[in-house]
Structure 1
């Protein structure tokens, strides 16, 4: 949730953020109204409780003949207090609903607009010029005995797959390299639960506009996570964490699940857009004033991994309307996919400022010992989709694939050969 003090002091900033996102500006006025109503309801209820307390002392000291009238007034006052308490509860609920309807405030400099309005910040490497007709990642995966979509569909349905043989080994090598790099940068590795409670999913902002993407187990009222960002954010929910020695960094390795609702007909071939995949996700708790610098570091770690894979990529500053509820700024790294003649997203890193931590009750103590709301950030370090770019960019005419040098020690080979 956004800071209500920011709303009260700078409502035009919140309105501008909504405009840049293409979101409803009227929600700002609704929240201002709900905030004012709630403060008025709290004040009225407090006044009546104080009056009731003082009145009780008066009754005890009153002459006997005055007490019947005072007791009658006491009953009236009790009813007023009860009604005021109910109004306070309703005002709190209305404020919470209005508060949750506003996405995070974008950071200055974020491009306005939607999915196609990103700004390219840099391009690294040149797309390879093939002297043969390149195969797409699925054709290569089938030749290598690495990807089996047909049996994935037979077992689980569309957009499921098996990674087998060198495909499974390639993913494990990639994710192990990512964990190794995370360790070198001071991250604590985590294998989190992939089922979470509603309050954890909602706290991270995934039950708003993204609710259709999430798998829900109704009998248990649990959600399958689409990223380990969710359980890692919930890890310190309701706690005061220690940031005196700097940010807290976790690297979560988990399976992830997405319904891909609304993507019918998009990327149906291969493993670009699937319902289940594995990922190493970086997650950081920091002081708000350190969040921007931490965001740049997460981006640098992602670029280091991409460069280790020896594939061309570009970095984009994602436009406000494509940020999602929790992010105040997001950088995507998109790798070149030869057979699509296009850059496709492999990583994202988001600065969520204090938005998630405010929802989840995560605080730290400042230099005066006063609790303050922490900032949270996240970023992808490797995921199953990376196999698409690795296979296509490093393929040879005979269907073999050269293994990036950084992965060769983990795979024990420098080339993946087609099955005979």
Structure 2
């Protein structure tokens, strides 16, 4: 949610942002609803003041034995008018909030303008793309040959885009999680295992719910949604709180399963365990002072890069365009890992600065002293590792001529082996 003052005083900034994002939005409707709700606030306040004055007049007349019929009649008229205005105010506030909660975030000046991913900018590459002296396989064929994934039985049990991990791939998946948590703990992140289901109010604080209805799972007959990432739970963890400025920044490492409908792309490179409905993820989430958030954004990206450098997985960093990044983010970097079996880079990390977009919706503020005015925090999020996609990168990039998989060095101590 954006600052209402900005909508009221500088709608041209919002209009440009919508144009740059290539988003259709009823800005005029929002501006009109905002103007109307402000007028209604003034009118209802005036009527409440008038009602209090008439009430005092009635009390005085009754106390002094005067006839209060005219004042009582006036009270009835004012009360009816107030009731009608309050009903109109509730509807106008509802209309305004519905629109305001679907408006995208502002865009940082460094974000390239464009309608889609063709306008994304490659910031850097790291690592050497592996070369093989034998015919390589993709992760689907490798998993079948080594008995590591069962897609057919998962489809029978749950449907498409589900999987059974088996044998040493289960252990490698857990090794990634353990290594990620140890890595972030060393960097002074607080470890959090959040609720895997949250209510609508919390979900709407973290995302623009209307855009995610088609990708998030809803629990039938319950005010609960399965999280698509631990970001959703952690964002809402401090809702309606005022944090101490001395404790900032607050850095969390969230670990959780993630659940997504993942409708859309098809093809062999989207099969297997790359794009699935359920996976584990370790997420970075940071609450920061507004003046520190861009520094924190770059730091989170560096933390993610170092993680993949330790795993020796080649990657590139992409700065997403205005039309390709999510509506909640003001700026997003993606890290795309090289997938040898697909002969392509594929996204494995998304790193975003959301400014005060989420914290306004969730009413999360901070102050430095008890008597100082509160300020909204900035919130940032970044994948550290989404395990299934990283498993794909490891399987394809570290395959050996004899059909096995070399285990990256940092994971060997967790797995107890250097090869699968």
Could you state the TM-score of these two structures normalised by the residue count of structure 1?
Answer: 0.94
For 1:17 and 1:175, the matched residues in 2 are separated by 38
For 1:209 and 1:135, the matched residues in 2 are separated by 37
Match of 2:272 in 1: 270
For 1:242 and 1:36, the matched residues in 2 are separated by 35
CA shift for structure 1 position 49: 0.6
CA shift for structure 1 position 207: 1.5
CA shift for structure 1 position 206: 4.7
CA shift for structure 1 position 347: 0.6
Match of 1:298 in 2: 300
Whether 1:86 and 2:94 are equivalent positions in the alignment is no
Of stretches 352-361 and 235-244 in structure 1, the one that deviates more from structure 2 is 235-244
4+ residue stretches of structure 1 with deviation over 3 A? 59-66, 262-268
Change (3 A) 1:66 1:398: same
Q: CA RMSD in A?
A: 1.7
Change (3 A) 1:56 1:307: same
CA shift for structure 1 position 129: 2.0
Match of 1:4 in 2: 4
SS where residue 118 of structure 2 aligns?
A: coil
For 1:27 and 1:298, the matched residues in 2 are separated by 34
CA shift for structure 1 position 3: 1.0
Whether 1:400 and 2:401 are equivalent positions in the alignment is no
For 2:213 and 2:375, the matched residues in 1 are separated by 29
Match of 1:54 in 2: 53
Q: Tell me, which stretches of 5 or more residues in structure 1 are unaligned?
A: none
Match of 1:17 in 2: 17
Contact kept, 8 Å, 1:145 with 1:166, in 2: the verdict is: no
- TM alignment of 1:73-152, pairs within 5 A: 73-113=74-114, 114-152=116-154
For 2:268 and 2:103, the matched residues in 1 are separated by 29
SS where residue 208 of structure 1 aligns?
A: helix
CA shift for structure 1 position 226: 0.8
Contact kept, 8 Å, 2:102 with 2:208, in 1: the verdict is: no
Whether 1:410 and 2:420 are equivalent positions in the alignment is no
Q: Tell me, which stretches of 5 or more residues in structure 2 are unaligned?
A: none
SS where residue 39 of structure 1 aligns?
A: helix
CA shift for structure 1 position 415: 1.9
Match of 1:288 in 2: 290
Change (3 A) 1:127 1:256: same
Whether 1:376 and 2:375 are equivalent positions in the alignment is no
- TM alignment of 1:327-338, pairs within 5 A: 327-338=329-340
CA shift for structure 1 position 303: 0.2
Contact kept, 8 Å, 2:255 with 2:280, in 1: the verdict is: yes
Cα distance per residue 1:64-102 (max 9 Å; x no partner) = 666322221221111111112222212211210121121
For 2:41 and 2:176, the matched residues in 1 are separated by 55
Cα distance per residue 1:329-369 (max 9 Å; x no partner) = 11100011122221100111111111111111111114552
CA shift for structure 1 position 108: 1.3
Cα distance per residue 1:187-208 (max 9 Å; x no partner) = 1111111111111111111522
- TM alignment of 1:186-225, pairs within 5 A: 186-225=188-227
Contact kept, 8 Å, 2:341 with 2:397, in 1: the verdict is: no
- TM alignment of 1:168-183, pairs within 5 A: 168-183=170-185
Contact kept, 8 Å, 2:319 with 2:332, in 1: the verdict is: yes
For 1:98 and 1:66, the matched residues in 2 are separated by 50
For 1:64 and 1:312, the matched residues in 2 are separated by 91
For 1:295 and 1:231, the matched residues in 2 are separated by 20
Match of 1:41 in 2: 40
